[in-house]
Chain A
Amino acid sequence: MSAATSAPGGPRRIASRWVGLLLVAPFLLYVLTFLVLPLASVVVLSTHQVNDQYHLEPAWTLDNYQRVLDPENLPILLRSARYAGLTSFFCLLAGYPLAWFIARHGGRHKALLLLLVMLPFWTSYLVRIFSWMTLLQTEGLLNGALLGLGLIREPLSLLNTPFSVVLGLTYGFLPFATLPLYVALERLDGTLLEAAADLGARPATTFWKVVFPLSLPGVVAGGLLTFVPAMGDFVTPEILGGVDTLMIGNLIQQQFLASYDWPFGSALSLVLMGLMLVSILAFLKLVGSAESLA
């Protein structure tokens, strides 16, 4: 081998460095144009203010962040967290038995059953949420059935309540909880269940002492994957909710599309992002400790 080509920093080495850069360049350009720049502009925008002529002007102020904590805005933020938390909880509650069934009793049909879990994604989310409207409205199917059976005298007002919003969110995000739970339960060693029974544990004890602790990574992942999108969702509360069930997503949408207060909308978006980031970091820490257990 000649000394010229094998020397460190030789022409061949430099050439390969350029090839490498060339290969990642399209992606870098994409990230720069569609992620970094817009994000930076949102950050800059959040320090602007709207003047009397409804024009944006730079103000280099943090007032917009202050307004997030105002008495008319803070409850919306807290409500979003509450709805997202409830959504996560109900998704896990419903997803756990579903994932258990597919993972432990699915047999040859596991792939098909998983496909069925994801089948709703083939239809537009909007269409599916609208169909919940027809189910829940005063003259809807559910009220019709309950009235017909004589279980209620007057139709229940289900729509435009916290109930209908959390129900819609839970319905929408259920697959996101089911899949990580499925993964965790699928890799659970069946002989551990036998070992627990062998040592005198009844099924319920086996679940709480062995199955649940070992499925924690899936529970945490499922919880996060439902909490984060539910927290930022605005379609569901828009369609199934009312004035009292506004979520932070609706608030942001209003700033941009209705009241044209882009700086405040940007501040809200960044606060939401920060909250998500914190919950993801907390999640990674939780998973880390859950993983080291499992």
Chain B
Amino acid sequence: MNNLVVEFREVTRRFGNVKAVDRVDLEVQRGAFFSLLGPSGCGKTTTLRMIAGFDEPDSGCIRINGQDVTHLAPFQRRVNTVFQNYALFPHMDVFENVAFGLRRRRLNLREIRSKVEWILGLVRLDGMGRRRIQQLSGGQQQRVALARALVNEPEVLLLDEPLAALDQKLRRDMQFELKRLQKELGITFVLVTHDQEEALTMSDSVAVMNAGRVEQIGPPRDIYDHPATRFVADFIGIANFLPVKVRSVQNGRTTVVLSDREILVPSRKGVDAGAQAELSLRPERLRLTRAAETGNCLPGTVVDSVFMGACTRFSVRVSEDHVLLAEQQNQQHGACADFNPGEPVWVNWGPSSATLLPLMHSAR
């Protein structure tokens, strides 16, 4: 229990008739890098704002460090936020911005000075204390915003799409920096992002949200390899979906029928024999061959190929309604990545490479 920094119990927040956050349960472990991932309007920012105290749930309970904070004001919580637009105070210099939280805690000037200096060093802004905010670049402002929040050593640091305004290269650097800071300080980070790559590369744990609900929580690898719903499979990376009928379930393996062929996939709770279901296949897990092989395979015809540098992405028609994307590594000899449009091929994959999805989640 003590290892949980943030807990949501059945938290709901309505705006008018819309449930922005709908009966959400969350647990964030101490010291974790936790991401809230989802498309815009999925409720991730509202969730973050409720941790900070800017928004109050209509029902449910929020605990920080075991203490019920559901109805506490932001200034009563030991939580700090890095805002999307940074929200730096334009009438103060870098030092005063960073010292703002420390001054509210009435530390003496010597302590304030040493703490500000320490944190500015940590975010690599040594000696910039007297700069005015308007003189700083976007990346530097970002670091001031980070320093201003981190200097208070919060229980949780909340980051609201902090990298969205930065260009590609700077964003990469800042991702690395954030990870480094989080490790060095051991502070729990909760990051809101719509960028799945950002969430996957940085987080220890990811909550994928959609329409106010948490669809899945887990380590990035689990979320990618074993998506819980069609939405998750579709939102994270690229997925091919194929409708199947379940024939039998045995020893953790399920046999499904796809275009009159029997296919072996990992079993899934709630998907029983006779049910209609869906198969999710990642393009990079599919292997194209000219000759049929044993195991899971489907015949098809190449309709298109796109050279992508490290790999080539083929579109393969496997039935009237379905075209699969398959990515093949480009090797020097080119043997396996050399198929021409119109050529008949076999699509192969291992028995654990597919994910079976119950059909009730495929409403979208």
Contacts and interface: CB of A to CB of B under 8 A. Distances in A.
A197 B53 CA distance: 9
A194 B91 contact: no
Given A199-B104, A205-B104, A214 B91 contact: yes
B75 A194 contact: no
Contact of B74 (A198, A213, A214): A198
A22 interface: no
Contact of A199 (B73, B90, B100): B100
A200 B89 contact: no
A197 B83 contact: no
Contact of A214 (B54, B81, B90, B152): B90
B204 to A, nearest CB: 24
Interface residues of B, number: 23
Contact of A198 (B81, B85, B88): B81
Interface string B142-162: 000000110010000000000
B152 A194 contact: no
A191 B75 contact: no
A260 to B, nearest CB: 54
Contacts, number: 61
B107 to A, nearest CB: 11
Interface in A156-182: none
A29 interface: no
A194 B148 contact: no
B292 interface: no
Interface in A197-212: 197-202, 205, 209-210
Interface in B66-107: 73-75, 79-81, 83, 85, 87-91, 100-101, 104-105
Contacts of B73: 197
A191 B87 contact: yes
Contact of A201 (B87, B104, B148): B104
A196 B100 contact: yes
Nearest to B160: A191
Contact of A195 (B53, B83, B91): B83
A210 B85 CA distance: 17
B52 interface: yes
B74 A197 contact: yes
B91 A294 contact: yes
A201 B89 contact: no
B96 to A, nearest CB: 9
Interface residues of A, number: 19
A146 B88 CA distance: 51
B89 A194 contact: no
Contacts of A192: 87, 89
Contacts of A294: 90-91
Given A191-B83, A205-B104, A198 B89 contact: no
Nearest to A189: B87
B75 A200 contact: yes
Contacts of B52: 194, 198
A210 B89 contact: yes
Nearest to B98: A199
Nearest to A216: B91
A134 B53 CA distance: 51
Contacts of A198: 52-54, 74-75, 79-81, 149
Contacts of B100: 196, 199, 201, 209
Contacts of A196: 89, 100
Interface string A217-234: 000000000000000000
Residue among B53, B79, B89, B105 facing the most chain A CB atoms (10 A cut-off):
B89
17 contacts: A189-B85, A191-B85, A194-B83, A195-B81, A195-B83, A195-B88, A196-B89, A197-B53, A197-B73, A198-B74, A199-B100, A199-B101, A199-B152, A200-B105, A200-B152, A202-B75, A294-B90
Interface of A: 189, 191-192, 194-202, 205, 209-210, 213-214, 293-294
